[in-house]
Amino acid sequence: MTKKKGHVIGSVAIGSIAEEMGIEPGDMLLKINDEEIGDIFDYQFLVQDDHLDVLVKKADGEEWLLDIDKDFDEELGIEFENGLMDDYRSCCNKCIFCFIDQMPKGMRPTLYFKDDDSRLSFLQGNYVTLTNMSDADIDRILKYHLSPINVSFQTTNPELRCKMLGNRFAGEALKKVDKLCAEGSGIELNGQIVLCKGVNDGEELERSISDLTKYIPNLQSVSVVPVGLSRHREGLYPLEPFDGEDAAKVIDQIERWQKKVYNEHGIHFIHASDEWYFLAGRDFPEAERYDGYIQLENGVGMMRLFIEEYEDALSRAVANRAKEIAAVNRHISMATGRLVYPCIRDMAAKAMQICPGLKVDVYEIINEFFGERITVSGLLTGQDIIGQLQGRDLGQMLYLPENLLRSGDDILLDDVRVPDIERELNVPVGIAKCDGYEFVADLFGLDASELMPE
């Protein structure tokens, strides 16, 4: 691993140890306890100690050696310009299901970058295939006790995994899981299977689930998600979409395994993502079946949690904010993807029954950019929203789901910004969080904090 001479500090938290010691944005971190820092793995490990000698180079070139006493695991309050403190590792696979290969040309370059970096798995929850991890990387994870690590398995059949990932080493890479899950390692993992019809479903999925249960308790959960197929698949591996009957079979298979694993280990372990239940037209599992929503960010249990929060928030609003609700005179609109549209529509209708002065128009946006098979809200584009809502009476406010925005910004996948949508549709745009309490607050124009449990 190439050693860096230093890492530029991007920000310093107010009231932190770093601020107290005079560290400023633009300073360069050179060493901790006389050790150079290769990347975020090294930094996270070294900074845990209760005594640190921190060598910093100031903007004027002067070097400061700071003697710091702190609590074990207490953060310094530093964020770096490069979050990984190293170059990002790009994916070396050619997966038959890769969504980036299904994107049209002409989008911003960052959208075409395929990452497969174990450090992003630790920091941001990204899923990695293990094909880009060396034995040294595994050793560092064990040494630094970095977890959880999220692994994209797809299948435990080595030959089939090589085919699916387009990498002749993909089957061999599964052996790294044995080392991560060795007795006493203390490393926690979560898994994912992107299911492709006629490829890794049916008997192959049965094999994969059976094999993966052997890694419990280190492997805490595995989600099964359907492959996303855009209309831009020219020259790619021929994959077919799942239909409602297929989805029902997948759910039955997973729920059968959930019962077996729960009886043996006390966890449900294998989870079907929300898309399967939408596709099959089935009710979502009860909250307890999601094991504390361990894979919420992967679309597992998101709607069940949203519904539970919504019902609680609505009952609290009726009980505690009856006067405010009675005085509401409000016309708003909401735009969402085809997948969740029926749920959002029904929730809005229930709120309107309670509040006669509330009018909510919920619009189902068809994904013409990527194709109608893409039904999730997070892949909607500004041009589709504008094109399908142009000329409509959207009321006092149009709400868009926050998952269609790039984190920390107001830009959508096609580089259309929220102000562009406001200008084109001549309506203020609000960003709705995927939170039932916030949703009810948006409907009635209330403060969400007033509806949350204490």
What pLDDT does residue 76 have? Answer: 92
pLDDT at 121 over 90: no
Residue 111: what pLDDT?
59
Average pLDDT value for residue range 379-405: 95
Q: Is the pLDDT of residue 220 over 90?
A: yes
Query: Is residue 217 within 8 Å of residue 147, measured between CB atoms?
Result: no
Does 117 score more than 50 pLDDT?
Answer: no
pLDDT, residue 44, reads 78
Residues 291 and 315 grouped into a single domain: no
Q: Where are the beta strands (DSSP E) in 42-180?
A: 51-57, 63-69, 78-80, 127-128, 149-152
In a domain, 53, yes or no: yes
- Is residue 255 situated within a structural domain? yes
Closest C-alpha to 93, from 167, 200, 193, 174:
167
**Does 165 reside within a domain?**
yes
Average pLDDT for 125-132: 79
Section 122-142 average pLDDT: 78
Q: What pLDDT, on the 0 to 100 scale, is given for residue 89?
A: 57
Q: Give a yes or no: residue 369 inside a domain.
A: yes
Instruction: Among 265, 282, 299, give the residue marking a domain's end.
Output: 299
Q: Is residue 12 part of a domain?
A: yes
**138 and 278 part of one domain:** yes
Q: What is the pLDDT of residues 313-328, one digit of tens each?
A: 999 999 999 999 999 9
Tell me, yes or no, whether 92 lies in a domain.
Answer: no
In a domain, 87, yes or no: no
pLDDT digit string, tens, across residues 138-159: 888 888 888 888 899 999 999 9
| Selected residue with higher pLDDT from 310 and 94 | 310
Statement to judge: residues 333 and 425 lie in one domain: yes
Mean pLDDT of the region 223-233: 94
Percent of the chain with pLDDT over 90: 69
Per-residue tokens: 141: 């994870």
pLDDT at 88 > cutoff 70 = no
Above 50 in pLDDT, residue 450? yes
What's the rounded mean pLDDT across residues 382-409?
92
Confidence of residue 106 (pLDDT cuts 50, 70, 90): confident
With a cut of 60, say whether residue 362 has pLDDT above it: yes
State the pLDDT confidence band at 118, using cuts at 50, 70 and 90: very low
pLDDT of 169 > 60? The answer is: yes
> In whole angstroms, how far apart are CA 376 and each of 144, 222, 277, 278, 299?
37, 21, 13, 11, 10
Same domain flag for 51 and 141: no
**Domain finish residue from 250, 281, 299:** 299
pLDDT of residue 120: 47
Query: Are residue 220 and residue 201 in the same domain, yes or no?
Result: yes
The helix/strand/coil state of 269 is coil
CATH of the domain at 394: 3.40.50
Residue 278 sits in the same domain as residue 129: yes
Mean pLDDT score, 166-181: 94
Residue 394 pLDDT:
97
Calculate mean pLDDT across residues 160-178: 94
Between β-strands 7-12 and 78-80, what pairing exists: parallel, antiparallel or unpaired?
A: antiparallel
Q: Which of 299, 327, 350 is the last residue of a domain?
A: 299
Residues 110 and 216 in one domain: yes
Determine the average pLDDT of the residues in 366-395: 94
CATH number at residue 186: 3.80.30.10
Q: Are residues 63 and 107 in the same domain?
A: no
Please state the domain count of the chain. 3
Same domain, 326 and 401: yes
The pLDDT tens digits for 402-437 are 988 876 689 998 899 999 999 999 999 999 988 999
Which CATH number is 37's domain given? 2.30.42.10
- Per-residue model confidence as pLDDT tens digits over 251-273: 999 999 999 999 999 999 999 99
Report in angstroms the alpha-carbon separations of 68 from 21, 24, 41, 54. 8, 16, 20, 7
Q: Which of 289, 218, 295 shows the shortest CA–CA distance to 257?
A: 289
Inform me whether the pLDDT recorded for 237 exceeds 70. yes
Query: Which residue range forms the structural domain that includes residue 295?
Result: 100-299
Residues 41 and 163 in one domain: no
Mean pLDDT of 289-308: 94
317 in the same domain as 274: no
Question: Are residues 141 and 213 located together in one domain of the fold?
Answer: yes
pLDDT, the chain, mean: 90
Residues 238-249: tens digit of each pLDDT? 999 999 999 999
Cα separation, 286 vs 305, whole angstroms: 9
- Report if residue 86 sits inside a domain: no
**What's the average model confidence in pLDDT over 4-27?**
89
